[in-house]
Amino acid sequence: MNLHISASPHLRDNLSVPKIMYSVILSLVPAGAWSVYIFGLKALWIILIAVLSAMATEWICQTIMKRPVTLFDGSAILTGLLLAYNLPAGVPLWIPLVGAFVSIFIGKQIFGGLGFNPMNPALIGRAFLMASWPVHMTVFQTFPRGMQSLSGIDSMTGATPLAVFKQMREILIHRSEFLPEQVTQATESLYQLNRAYWQLLFGNIGGCIGEVSALLILIGACFLLYRRIIGWKIPLSYIGTVAILTTIFGGVDGLLTGNGLFHILSGGLFLGAFYMATDMVTSPVTFAGRLWFGIGCGVLTVIIRLWGGYPEGVSYSILLMNLVTPLLDRITRPKVFGG
């Protein structure tokens, strides 16, 4: 009889990398399906092109670099999917194609493939597209089904709630520089926005494909938390930090007049906090490191949203914190049991 030998342990858990990837993909399906419903088939095409382009890039890179082809471990599919979820539904179809190529090639494969990328590949792709074609990336030309006119967000402008919020907040903070009618209108707009929770939860507002329904993202995230695919530390510290800081600083009438709930429900915060910041490869591994990572993402997001040049700051803050991850891991090394 031939006996196998190997080092212990001789039992292994059932969870594998592909299982993790496909669980995340599965949990993203409801939000995607909803987005196809409200934006129409265009959203579906964008998702398909991004996923296929990511897979094709993965295959080409791995073949040229003579690495084992790992097309079906799910990681390229997930990167493509997340990139698509970060695009407005109105972009031309070559945008997801180029974005997915950049994500996989520059974001991941040139560093050595899965596990070696310093930053989230999907966000690298998005950042590249934002820098190269800002008009395509910020104009939301495709209008959601059942969209109600809200605070001037209507089929004419197609802006996102956060963009309107930023504009109106600027007016109210510098109210002396504006006409009284403008100030009144801005006050009215902000008042409406601050009560638009229902629209934010269900997504009949402008926004990227994946971020329109906070509710469905939350349901998918609960599935992942329940299955322990992702942990609670990064999302909780991230969203908590944003809620606290925007409540304190987000208002126009001084400290503690902001609306934290509006901020955590709008834009890509849920998508970012549950799906991008928790990307295992690019986030810290220690308990304290993950808490600080989430807090850092939250602080940067709020700085960008309230005082920065963009209405939305989730993707840049995660990318910046990705770069701090090795440092966080180093300084938050756990104390050895008994040490």
Residues that bind other proteins (CB under 8 A): 1-13, 15-17, 19-20, 70, 73, 112-116, 231, 280-287, 290, 329, 333-339
Total number of residues shown for the chain: 339
CA distances from 229 to 120, 147, 169, 276, 339 (A): 17, 34, 38, 13, 30
Which C-beta is closer to other proteins: that of 241 or that of 322? 322
DSSP 150: B
CB of 20 to other proteins, least distance (A): 6
CB of 35 to other proteins, least distance (A): 27
260 token code pair = 């934290």
What secondary structure does DSSP assign to 199-260, as a single string? HHHHT-SS-BTTTS-HHHHHHHHHHHHHTTSS-SHHHHHHHHHHHHHHHHHS-SSSTT-S-H
Which C-beta is closer to other proteins: that of 307 or that of 337? 337
Q: CA nearest 20: which of 78, 104, 84, 100?
A: 78
Which C-beta is closer to other proteins: that of 66 or that of 335? 335
Which C-beta is closer to other proteins: that of 131 or that of 336? 336
Q: Helices (DSSP H) in the chain: which residue ranges?
A: 17-39, 41-64, 75-85, 94-105, 121-132, 134-138, 161-173, 180-193, 197-202, 214-226, 233-249, 260-265, 269-271, 287-307, 314-331
From CA 295, how far away is CA 83, in angstroms rounded?
Answer: 24
Which C-beta is closer to other proteins: that of 116 or that of 198? 116
Which C-beta is closer to other proteins: that of 86 or that of 282? 282
First to last CA, the chain: 46
CB of 298 to other proteins, least distance (A): 20
From CA 179, how far away is CA 182, in angstroms rounded?
Answer: 5
Which C-beta is closer to other proteins: that of 231 or that of 308? 231
From CA 116, how far away is CA 42, in angstroms rounded?
Answer: 33
CB of 326 to other proteins, least distance (A): 10
From CA 182, how far away is CA 292, in angstroms rounded?
Answer: 41
Which C-beta is closer to other proteins: that of 8 or that of 176? 8
Backbone φ and ψ of 36, nearest 5°: -65, -35
CB of 1 to other proteins, least distance (A): 7
CB of 5 to other proteins, least distance (A): 4
